[in-house]
Amino acid sequence: MSKAIIITLFSLAGIAFLVLAYLSRREPSRVPSLGSMSAFVMEYRVGKVPVGRIAVLGFWWWAGWHFFAR
Amino acid sequence: MNPGRMASAMSADGDNEGMDQPRATAEDVRPWDRAVVTYPLFALIALVGGLFPSFGLTANLLVIGIGGTMFWLGISGRAGRRAAPQGVPRGAAWWLLPVLLFASTELFAFSKHSIEDYPTLSLLADPFLEHYTAKAASYFVWLVAFWGLVRR
């Protein structure tokens, strides 16, 4: 039962993600694209250190390693 | 788009209005930086990457090598970048819905320490990724998304 709930919650998150991605591509849209959101987060800096860029790229690198190499 | 070209384009009018998500023109695109070049390359890497079993040395080396190259390209800006939106994009809060739902579910499942009853996403994905086609396709999606992030 608990496993089914977890799978349902992950599925709902995935569906919400896809719906927002679709809505963001319509013209005009009140939802920014995922690319715009990524760019906005990646612009975050602390001094000269591109913290947002390091965090996003590092997370995606880790995600690839986590799913494909371990 | 070449960062230098982008900067000059933005400064020509004194602001970046209309430059929220500029597209690279043909003359800005490097010969190797075209979908007809990068996508087949990513497909080749994905087809090879799908062959390697998890926990293997080759699988680790490939992900670390490819990921490290992408990471370096993204940090150094050598692959070019598009202009970022100024300020918080309108309607950005909508994206918190799937992000928070996913993150809270993952954290909750992880905190339970029960693989059978409360599996995390990676545990659920393991049986799927044991199939070569699924793993190679997922590898390809990971690479394409990584390339998109590198150029943001």
Tell me which residue in A10, A34, A35 faces B102 most closely, judged by beta carbons.
Answer: A10
* Phi, psi for A38 (deg, rounded to 5): -60, -45
Chain A residues in contact with B108 by the CB 8 A cut-off are 6
State CA B89 to chain mean position distance.
Answer: 20
A:B CB pairs within 8 Å: 142
Stretch among B4-8, B66-70, B140-144 having the lowest mean pLDDT: B4-8
Distance between CA atoms of A44 and A51, rounded to whole angstroms? 6
Read off the pTM: 0.81
Residue B55: pLDDT band (50, 70, 90) is confident
Nearest chain B CA: its distance from A47 CA (Å): 15
Chain A residues in contact with B122 by the CB 8 A cut-off are 66-67
Tokens standing for residue A26:
């319509």
Distance between CA atoms of B65 and A29, rounded to whole angstroms? 38
pLDDT confidence of residue B3: 44
Tell me which residue in B60, B119, B148 faces A69 most closely, judged by beta carbons.
Answer: B60
Answer whether residue B8 shows pLDDT above 80: no
Lookup result for tokens 């049986």:
B127
Q: Does B82 touch chain A (CB under 8 A)?
A: yes
Lookup result for tokens 């995606």:
A60
Chain A residues in contact with B115 by the CB 8 A cut-off are none
Minimum CA–CA partner of B73 in chain A:
A57
Tell me which residue in A17, A43, A50 faces B98 most closely, judged by beta carbons.
Answer: A17
Structural domain spans, chain A = 1-31, 32-70
Spatial neighbors of A25 by CB under 8 A, at least 6 apart, are A33
Minimum CA–CA partner of B150 in chain A:
A57
pLDDT confidence of residue B6: 42
Spatial neighbors of B115 by CB under 8 A, at least 6 apart, are B123
Chain A residues in contact with B128 by the CB 8 A cut-off are none
Q: Does B119 touch chain A (CB under 8 A)?
A: yes
Residue B103: pLDDT band (50, 70, 90) is very high
Give me the amino acid identity at B83: A
Answer whether residue B16 shows pLDDT above 80: no
State the DSSP string of B68-125. Answer: HHHHHHHHHTTT--PPPPSSSPTTGGGGHHHHHHHHHHHHHHHHHT-TTTS--HHHHH
- Look at A70 and B72; give whichever has higher pLDDT: B72
Minimum CA–CA partner of A66 in chain B:
B122
Minimum CA–CA partner of A60 in chain B:
B146
B123-138 tens-digit pLDDT: 999 999 999 999 999 9
pLDDT confidence of residue B37: 87
Query: ipTM of this predicted complex?
Result: 0.90
